[in-house]
Chain A
C-alpha cells in the first residue's frame, strides 16, 4: 500500500465486514473512494429452491439479525404475490405495525452505533439510555404481534398466524402513547448532537449520478420495476481489478443508474427535502422515527382484534415472479419469488445495503480520509445480506467462473 491509499478494513460499528479504500492527495483529501463488501456468501436464496412456499420467510429472515423483520416481510410478501394471495385487512395492519415498530428500533440501534461519533462523555450515557428505552418499548410491539422480536414466527404467507387480543391492543396503544414524549425527546437529542458534532456541512454530499429510490412512503408493496433492473458484477464495476475480485456484491442499477436508498432518499422522494450528506442522513433517520411512529399508531388503532388474519390459500399460484418491496431501515429491501407447481422455482433478494454500495465509496470524496468512516456509518450499512459468489482457482486465486450471480 502506498501512502496515497488509505484502507479501513473492516469498517466498524456496522453489521458485516467491508473495506473502505480511499486514494488521497498530499493533504489527505479523498480523491477516489471505493467501498465494498468482503462478507462471504449468504446462499439462502439457493437453500429455499424446491422448498414449499412457507419456507422462504423462515429461512430468509435469517439473512440478517439486524433487520430480520423487513426480510421476513419482504419474503412473505413476495410469496403472497407469486401465489396471488390477497391477505386479510387485519393481517395487513398487523404487518404494517410490526414493520413500523421495528424500523424505530433499528434507527435507535444505529444511534447507539454512531453515539461515539456525535457525543462526548457528557452525553453518551444519556444517549444510550434513551436508545435502550425506545428499543425496549418498540421491540415489545414486535414481540407481541409477530411472535418474536428478532426472527418472528407469526408472519406467514397468507397473512399472520394469529390476531392480537383486545387486552394486548390496549396495552400496546397505552405503552406507545406513553413512549411518545420520550421518542420526541430522543429525536431532538440526536438531531442536536448531530448538528453540534462539528461535521463539515457537505460531508458525504457527493452522490454522483445516483437517483433516490423510494417507491413507497411507508411499509411497502408488491410493485417493482424489474424491467429496469441490471445487476453488474463487481469486476465490471470497479476499475481496480484487485477490488473487483475481492468485492462480494453485485451492483444493482435501475435504468443504468445507482439507486440511493435509506432515510435521506425517503425524505427527498416523499417529503421534498433536498439536503444531502452525512448530516442530512442522520437528521432524516431521526425524523423518520416519528414518521414510523405515526404509521404504527394508525395501524394499531385500525386493527380489528376479532378479525381473521389468515387466508386459505392454495399452492398453485400465478406462476409469475412476485415481489416483496419493503421500506426497511436502511432502504428498500426487495425479495422476489416464483412458485411453480407448489415449490419455490426462483428466489432472489436485493437487499438495502446492496443498493447503496456503489454510492457510499464516492460519497467520501472531497474530504479528509479520516472522515470517511463517518460517511459510511451514516448509511448504516448492513452487509451480512449483500453477497455474491465466484469460483477461484485454489492455486493462483484466479477467477475461474464468475457467473454464479444468483447465489
Chain B
C-alpha cells in the first residue's frame, strides 16, 4: 500500500479562527494537539518551537497549553530534531502522556525507539504521534538562498513559506513570490533523496496539504489512538470534514506523489550502491 496502513482518509480543517490564522494548512496538527491537551489525552506535546528572535529556525520544545501550541504552528522547511526534546519532556517536564509532531523519518525513529529498549521510560510515554507529509527538507542556509538570494526578500521579512503547485512560495507583506522547484533541487539534505516515506506511514495519524483544496488538509487515520482523537475532535466541533472523494485533487495525487518518492528513493539507493556507498538496509 503506497500510503501505508490506514483506516480512513478525509479532508478536514480546524474551525477555530485562532488556529487558522497561524497554521500552515488546515490547522489539523494544532487542533488535534490542543484537543488532546484539553481532554487530558496527553499532558503536553513536543513540537518544533520557534527560536527566540529567529522565526525560521525551529527549536524542539515542550508545549503545555493552547498558546504554546499556537506559538509553534506553521511549517519551517528546515530540520527540527523533535525527538531530541522527548527526553526532557518526560523527565524535567514530567510528562507521562506525550503528543509529538514528527516528519516521516522521525516517526520511523520513534517506532524504533519504542521497539528496541534503548532509553528507558522515554519513548513509551508517547501516546499520540502525529506525522506530517514530507517530500524533502532543507538546511537553514538554503532558506536564506531561496528567499534572500533568489527571491530577493530577507528571510526575516517573510511571513509564510510553503511548497505547492511545483513551487517554493514565500509571502511577505501580503505579496506572494514563487521559486520553481527545479531551483530548490540539490539543496535538500542528502538523506531525503533515499527516504521512501512521504506520508508518515508509522504515525498514529498523518496529515499534509496534498490532496485537499487550499486551506484544507488531507488526513490518514492510522491507529486506534489516531482515529479516536480525530473523531473526538470532530464530534467536539473543533474540526470540520469533507469526504476525500468529494475534494479535488483527492487521494490519487497523494498516491502518485507517494509512489514517486518511493521510486526515486529506490533509484537513488541503487545508484549509491553502485558507487560503493553505504546504504541503510531497511527503510
Interface residues of A (CB under 8 A from B): 143-145, 147-149, 154, 162-165, 167-168, 171-172
How would residues 125 to 139 of chain B score, 1 for a CB under 8 Å from any chain A CB and 0 otherwise? 000000000000000
The reply to whether B94 and A147 form a contact with Cβ atoms under 8 Å apart is no
Name B90-104 residues within 8 Å CB distance of A. 91-94
Minimum Cβ distance to chain B for residue A153 (Å): 8
The reply to whether A167 and B121 form a contact with Cβ atoms under 8 Å apart is no
Query: What residues of chain A lie closer than 8 Å to B64, measured between beta carbons?
Result: 165, 167
The reply to whether A167 and B43 form a contact with Cβ atoms under 8 Å apart is yes
Q: In this assembly, does B177 line the interface, its C-beta being within 8 Å of a C-beta of chain A?
A: no
Known: A143-B91, A154-B91, A165-B92. 11 other contacts (CB 8 A): A144-B91, A144-B92, A145-B92, A154-B92, A162-B88, A164-B92, A165-B93, A167-B43, A167-B44, A171-B94, A172-B94
A240 to B93, CA, bound (A): 56
Return the chain A residue nearest B121 by Cβ.
A143
Query: What residues of chain B lie closer than 8 Å to A168, measured between beta carbons?
Result: 92-94
The reply to whether A147 and B93 form a contact with Cβ atoms under 8 Å apart is no
A154 to B91, CA, bound (A): 10
Query: What residues of chain B lie closer than 8 Å to A147, measured between beta carbons?
Result: 87, 91-92
Minimum Cβ distance to chain A for residue B85 (Å): 12
Cβ contact of B94, chosen from A148, A149, A154, A167, cutoff 8 A: A167
What is the size, in residues, of chain B's interface with A at 8 Å between Cβ atoms?
A: 11
A172 to B121, CA, bound (A): 16
Query: What residues of chain A lie closer than 8 Å to B92, measured between beta carbons?
Result: 144-145, 147, 154, 162-165, 168
Return the chain A residue nearest B62 by Cβ.
A165
Minimum Cβ distance to chain A for residue B64 (Å): 7
Query: What residues of chain A lie closer than 8 Å to B87, measured between beta carbons?
Result: 147
Query: What residues of chain B lie closer than 8 Å to A149, measured between beta carbons?
Result: 120
A162 to B91, CA, bound (A): 10
Name B40-94 residues within 8 Å CB distance of A. 43-44, 64, 87-88, 91-94
A137 to B30, CA, bound (A): 33
Return the chain B residue nearest A152 by Cβ.
B91
Minimum Cβ distance to chain A for residue B86 (Å): 13
The reply to whether A167 and B91 form a contact with Cβ atoms under 8 Å apart is no
Query: What residues of chain A lie closer than 8 Å to B93, measured between beta carbons?
Result: 164-165, 167-168
Minimum Cβ distance to chain A for residue B94 (Å): 3
Residue with the highest number of chain B CB atoms closer than 10 Å, among A145, A162, A163, A167: A167
Minimum Cβ distance to chain A for residue B125 (Å): 11
Q: 4 closest Cβ contacts across the A-B interface?
A: A168-B94, A164-B92, A171-B94, A162-B92
A165 to B43, CA, bound (A): 13
A154 to B87, CA, bound (A): 11
Would you list 20 pairs from A and B whose C-beta atoms are within 8 A, ordered by A residue?
A: A143-B121, A144-B91, A144-B94, A145-B92, A147-B91, A147-B92, A149-B120, A154-B91, A162-B92, A164-B92, A164-B94, A165-B64, A165-B93, A165-B94, A167-B64, A168-B92, A168-B93, A168-B94, A171-B94, A172-B94
Query: What residues of chain A lie closer than 8 Å to B44, measured between beta carbons?
Result: 167
A164 to B93, CA, bound (A): 6
Residue with the highest number of chain A CB atoms closer than 10 Å, among B87, B88, B93, B94: B94
A282 to B94, CA, bound (A): 34
Query: What residues of chain B lie closer than 8 Å to A163, measured between beta carbons?
Result: 92
Minimum Cβ distance to chain A for residue B84 (Å): 13
Query: What residues of chain B lie closer than 8 Å to A165, measured between beta carbons?
Result: 64, 92-94
Query: What residues of chain A lie closer than 8 Å to B94, measured between beta carbons?
Result: 144, 164-165, 167-168, 171-172
A177 to B53, CA, bound (A): 41
A147 to B44, CA, bound (A): 18
A168 to B64, CA, bound (A): 12
A326 to B44, CA, bound (A): 36
A164 to B92, CA, bound (A): 4
Query: What residues of chain A lie closer than 8 Å to B121, measured between beta carbons?
Result: 143
Residue with the highest number of chain A CB atoms closer than 10 Å, among B43, B88, B92, B121: B92
